[in-house]
């Protein structure tokens, strides 16, 4: 039986994977990941050998250069046609170099770069021990409240390890979006998750909350990883392979030769269904979809805000990249099985996120629930199972990342004596005291709410359009209703900022260094450009929307 037609709508055939032969690694095509991994290792060496006072500059230099180089490599590969005509599977079938992976890698690297700017901000916290300090703990190993901690703070230590950790996380995410077999997928998942768990625990202020968040994230993340791994095992049992292409062929019945060692299990549909469900569950956890979203608010609230911004943007991009590839490349043959389930997940995610967000009183938690609702909107695009669905999701993710990092960067600016003033009541009257900061945050909120002329609207329109064309009209209606619900709480924050009287002992808005300004400025610029003139980026996403298989 030849390849079924449905599948070829959003995938193109790659060369057959060689079964025997010496490993052949296309270093050039993997260069974005390799550059970042290399730079991360250099960062570790910098920690070991460079004197403490120069570490910050060395680390920032290495990270910025590496991220820029990685982005240049991605652009170079795309310009070479690896996103379209030369798309293929590299590294012995482990890594797909194709449109979606290059597009998302570009977005993740940029999110990493903008995130790095917020990581490197050192003008917000008052100087300690004569040194400018950033948002991260003076000494992560010191017990909160202990004498060691006080000594570390007094000495003006900073945790410059965050920079290599960020690079490790980014390189893991790059592999995650392009993994073309289940084992690579799992390794990438761990490579980017572990640095994030660590980063979450590193807040300078409110350290106990930060550590609690990290522990929660780690425990739940470990559960999710375990589910993923179990799913991978079951799928291997079903298909006799961890390669995406092979599993897809077994699922749609074009390959029937049985591996003798797995004769009892191969082709057993129960294994396929349970395995796929567990695997998708693991990815939905990373995406933050209801009912696997429980970690999101706690972790977003507890983590240092720059980390929250980076994580909220980049993790979502990476996880949706992996989810798309899994559903479109591996499991298209069983889309009649997964579509109803994803329908349900998308509906409860959109509604759940929007409804629960209404009751939040902490700005970081509010943004966390909003990110859950957004995951639901993106899922609507995923469910479209069409080329337009892929391109709309890519476009949405690109717009969403910059809004998210920008919004969290604004949160770092609003401070009182205890650090960031994240309780909503403290934001009252911010528009009077600092109209510019409030106006910028209002732009981000309007983009989240999907008001026209912002990237949020263009993205929402794209995914809903794809969903409606893919026969999911009810989903669009529910999406629109939850947008209306979500608009309510975004607007509430705007009301608070502009129409409420400022509190006498309210927070002040810190004047950041050019780094944070750059992050926020980029966020605003991208939000408006994608809102007013999205055509170029839609083209890009469109060209990049074909998976290799």
CB of 463 to other proteins, least distance (A): 10
Residue among 309 and 381 whose Cβ is closer to other proteins: 381
What sign does the CA torsion over 63, 64, 67, 68 have? Answer: negative
Residue among 60 and 354 whose Cβ is closer to other proteins: 354
Q: How far apart, in whole angstroms, are the C-alpha atoms of residue 118 and residue 314?
A: 14
Q: How far apart, in whole angstroms, are the C-alpha atoms of residue 34 and residue 32?
A: 6
CB of 536 to other proteins, least distance (A): 10
CA dihedral 319, 320, 322, 325 (to 10 degrees): 170
Asked if 127 and 133 touch (Cβ cutoff 8 Å), the reply is yes
CB of 445 to other proteins, least distance (A): 11
Residue among 232 and 466 whose Cβ is closer to other proteins: 466
Q: How far apart, in whole angstroms, are the C-alpha atoms of residue 482 and residue 497?
A: 23
Residue among 261 and 436 whose Cβ is closer to other proteins: 436
547-548/11-12 β-pairing: parallel
Listed in order, strand segments (DSSP E) in 192-234 are none
Q: List the beta bridge partners of residue 548.
A: 12
CB of 111 to other proteins, least distance (A): 23
- Helices 162-178, 52-79: crossing angle, 10 deg rounding: 20
Asked if 371 and 449 touch (Cβ cutoff 8 Å), the reply is no
Which pair of tokens denotes residue 536? Answer: 């170029």
Conformation bin of residue 125: beta by default, left when phi > 0, alpha when psi is -120 to 50: beta
Residue among 83 and 306 whose Cβ is closer to other proteins: 83
CB of 535 to other proteins, least distance (A): 5
Q: How far apart, in whole angstroms, are the C-alpha atoms of residue 134 and residue 132?
A: 7
Residue 438: CB atoms within 10 A of its CB come to: 23
Residue among 349 and 483 whose Cβ is closer to other proteins: 483
CB of 508 to other proteins, least distance (A): 13
Q: Which of 396, 349, 402 is nearest to 376 (CA)?
A: 349
CB of 495 to other proteins, least distance (A): 5
Residue among 277 and 509 whose Cβ is closer to other proteins: 509
Q: Residues of 137-150 as b/e, b for ≥16 C-beta within 10 angstroms?
A: bbbbebeeeeeebe
Q: Which of 119, 160, 122 is nearest to 138 (CA)?
A: 160
Q: Residues of 44-65 as b/e, b for ≥16 C-beta within 10 angstroms?
A: bebbeeeeeeebbebbbebbbe
Which pair of tokens denotes residue 91? Answer: 């590294």
CB of 449 to other proteins, least distance (A): 8
The sheet with strand 508-509 has its strands ordered as 419-420, 414-416, 508-509
CB of 493 to other proteins, least distance (A): 12
Residue among 151 and 487 whose Cβ is closer to other proteins: 487
CB of 9 to other proteins, least distance (A): 17
Binding site for other proteins (CB under 8 A): 432-436, 446, 451-453, 457-458, 461-462, 464-465, 468-469, 473, 476-477, 480-481, 483-484, 487-488, 491-492, 495, 498-501, 533-535, 538-539, 542
Asked if 88 and 548 touch (Cβ cutoff 8 Å), the reply is yes
Cis peptide leading into residue 340 (ω within 30°): no
CB of 524 to other proteins, least distance (A): 15
Residue among 155 and 487 whose Cβ is closer to other proteins: 487
Residue among 211 and 483 whose Cβ is closer to other proteins: 483
Query: CB burial class (10 A; 0-12, 13-18, 19+) of residue 37?
Result: buried
- Helices 473-499, 335-357: crossing angle, 10 deg rounding: 20
Residue among 39 and 540 whose Cβ is closer to other proteins: 540
CB of 453 to other proteins, least distance (A): 5
- Helices 363-383, 269-287: crossing angle, 10 deg rounding: 140
- Would you call 156 helix, strand, or coil by DSSP? coil
CB of 432 to other proteins, least distance (A): 5
């Amino acid at each position: 039986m030849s390849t079924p037609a449905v599948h070829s709508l959003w995938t193109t055939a790659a060369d057959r994977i060689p079964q025997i032969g010496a490993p052949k690694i296309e270093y050039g095509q993997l260069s974005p990941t390799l550059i970042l991994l290399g730079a991360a290792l250099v960062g570790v060496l910098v920690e070991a050998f460079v004197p403490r006072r120069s570490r910050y500059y060395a680390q920032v230099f290495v990270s910025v250069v590496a991220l820029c180089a990685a982005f240049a490599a991605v652009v170079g590969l795309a310009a070479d046609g690896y996103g379209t005509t030369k798309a293929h599977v590299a590294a012995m079938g482990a890594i797909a170099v194709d449109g979606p992976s290059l597009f998302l890698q570009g977005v993740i690297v940029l999110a990493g770069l903008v995130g790095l700017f917020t990581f490197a901000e050192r003008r917000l916290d008052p100087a300690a021990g004569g040194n400018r300090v950033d948002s991260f703990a003076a000494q992560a190993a010191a017990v909160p409240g202990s004498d060691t901690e006080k000594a570390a703070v007094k000495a003006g230590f900073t945790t410059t390890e965050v920079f290599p950790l960020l690079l490790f996380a980014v390189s893991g995410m790059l592999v995650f979006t392009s993994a073309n077999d289940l084992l690579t997928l799992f390794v990438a998942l761990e490579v980017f998750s572990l640095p994030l768990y660590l980063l979450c625990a590193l807040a300078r202020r409110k350290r106990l909350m930060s550590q609690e968040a990290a522990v929660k994230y780690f425990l739940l993340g470990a559960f999710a990883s375990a589910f993923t791994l179990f799913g991978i095992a079951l799928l291997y049992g079903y298909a006799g392979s961890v390669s995406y292409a092979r599993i897809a062929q077994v699922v749609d019945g074009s390959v029937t030769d049985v591996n003798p060692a797995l004769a009892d299990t191969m082709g057993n549909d129960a294994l396929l269904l349970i395995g796929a469900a567990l695997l998708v569950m693991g990815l939905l956890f990373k995406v933050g979809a209801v009912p696997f979203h429980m970690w999101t608010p706690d972790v977003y609230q507890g983590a240092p805000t720059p980390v929250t911004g980076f994580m909220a943007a980049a993790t979502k991009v990476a996880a949706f990249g992996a989810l798309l590839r899994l559903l479109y490349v591996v499991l298209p043959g069983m889309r009649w099985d997964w579509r109803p389930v994803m329908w349900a997940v998308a509906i409860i995610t959109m509604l759940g996120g929007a409804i629960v967000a209404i009751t939040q009183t902490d700005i970081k938690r509010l943004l966390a629930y909003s990110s859950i609702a957004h995951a639901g909107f993106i899922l609507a695009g995923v469910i479209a199972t069409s080329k337009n669905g892929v391109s709309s999701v890519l476009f949405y993710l690109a717009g969403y990342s910059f809004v998210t990092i920008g919004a969290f960067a604004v949160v770092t600016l609003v401070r009182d004596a205890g650090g960031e003033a994240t309780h909503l009541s403290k934001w009252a009257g911010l528009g009077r005291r600092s109209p510019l900061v409030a106006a910028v945050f209002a732009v981000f909120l309007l983009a989240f709410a999907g008001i026209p002329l912002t990237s949020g609207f263009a993205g929402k329109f794209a995914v809903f359009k794809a969903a409606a064309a893919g026969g999911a009209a009810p989903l669009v209606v529910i999406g629109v209703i939850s947008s209306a619900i979500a608009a309510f709480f975004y607007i509430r924050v705007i009301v608070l900022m502009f129409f409420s009287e400022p509190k006498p002992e309210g927070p002040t808005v810190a004047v950041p260094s050019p780094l944070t300004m750059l992050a926020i400025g980029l966020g605003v610029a991208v939000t408006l450009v994608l809102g007013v003139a999205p055509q170029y980026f839609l083209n890009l996403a469109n060209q990049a929307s074909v998976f290799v298989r």
